[in-house]
Structure 1
Amino acid sequence: MHAIITKGTPLIFAFHGTGGDEHQFAGLTAQLWPGAGLVSPRGTVSENGANRFFRRTAEGVYDMVDLAQRTEDMIAFIRTHQEAGVPSYAYGYSNGANILAAVSFRAPDLFDRLALLHPLIPFAPSDQPGLGGRRVLITGGRRDPIAPLATTEALTAYYRRQGADVSTSLHSGGHELRPEEITALQAAFAD
């Protein structure tokens, strides 16, 4: 797995969207958190030449066996890059948000703070009490054709039921990142 890795405090894990790579959020991370470390993996699945973190069989239909295996692989990758005593925060956009959410369902202790930008979780995750008290930001567009508002709201409700400290930032547009989401992301990782 290719990745950008730099040292610093806190340690930020950034997960790209479909078609992105490990460089997609390097500049944004440096801008929002100067001096922070960065771990930014590249998805190892190619979908018509576009990098992804796991396979899907159609738009919004996930290969659940592949997702389960790649989630476990990503958990192992994350653990090898964390450092004792250094807070770990993570954010992901679109497909990156989806793998990050899947990681949180299985290993809620990995990150001190989590931001899911335009996630699409089209299945009902199992309860995960380890998410209790975790800070989670979820963003999206009210007219997002890829991550519909109803699924964003269902995921928000899931994290709240688990006892997570959830905040949201929703805009009137589609699947694009907007400035108010970036502001919410920066605030979510502020002390």
Structure 2
Amino acid sequence: MGTESYHALTRPPESGAPLIFAFHGTGGDETQFFEIAGQLLPGAGIVSPRGDVSEMGAARFFRRTGEGVYDMEDLARRTEALASYVAAHKALHPGSPVYGFGYSNGANILASVTMERPDLFDRVGLLHPLIPWAPDAAPGLAGTRVLITAGRRDPMCPWPLTERLIGWYAEQGAEVATEIHDGGHEVRQPELVALQRLVTTD
């Protein structure tokens, strides 16, 4: 699967600068985080794809059968497709580190890609992810920087599942950072500050 597999907004990186993938939440599109990605790290390349699944007109990256109930076969197919898409872009910029961040549904597909292809991303930001299954071990994530943000009262992403995901990445040897607030599913400014720190700190 090549670089034209998804409708996307893209910008090439300056020489040696990172390539940042940005994945929107349900109902978002390729514009949701494109400008934010550019503000996080000026000079970075950006790939911001639109999810290719429609849920009553709302774009998503994989199908679900209910709130928090995923079509796991579809998720597996979409994960493989997105991993190939990321790899194709990565091959075009061999001197660039590859970072990714996503919100909600975008965080979920990004997490799934890291579980299946831990070699693709150097740094990952998961904003309000919901991973309701127990992933297999992925020792290839050792040393990968992972940021997980969440709201303790998020009605869509129960806090115990977020805690479990934080623990899982730590068990794989990833360098895990967190930014947790007491609210719900909304992204707050400290989360964006933490995301900027993820992509800019050596």
Normalization by structure 2: what TM-score? Answer: 0.93
1:157 shift after superposition: 0.4
Find the aligned partners of 1:73 and 1:162 in 2 and give their Cα distance.
24
Match of 1:175 in 2: 185
Percent identical:
61
Q: Which runs of 5+ in 1 are unaligned?
A: none
Asked if the contact 2:107–2:128 (Cα under 8 Å) also holds between the matched residues in 1, the reply is: yes
Find the aligned partners of 1:32 and 1:163 in 2 and give their Cα distance.
26
1:34 shift after superposition: 1.1
Task: Calculate the aligned-residue CA RMSD, in Å.
Answer: 0.6
Q: Which runs of 5+ in 2 are unaligned?
A: 1-5
Find the aligned partners of 1:183 and 1:84 in 2 and give their Cα distance.
28
Find the aligned partners of 1:168 and 1:179 in 2 and give their Cα distance.
14
> How many residue pairs are counted as aligned between the two chains?
191
1:31 shift after superposition: 1.4
Among 121, 130, 133, the residue aligned to 2:143: 133
Amino acid at match of 1:20: G
Normalization by structure 1: what TM-score? Answer: 0.99
Find the aligned partners of 1:32 and 1:73 in 2 and give their Cα distance.
27
Match of 2:9 in 1: 4
- Note the alpha carbon deviations across 1:105-125, whole angstroms, 9 max, x for none: 000010110010000000000
Among 61, 64, 75, the residue aligned to 1:53: 61
Moved over 6 A (4+): none
Among 110, 116, 120, the residue aligned to 1:100: 110
Find the aligned partners of 1:81 and 1:162 in 2 and give their Cα distance.
26
- Note the alpha carbon deviations across 1:51-79, whole angstroms, 9 max, x for none: 00000010000000000000000001111
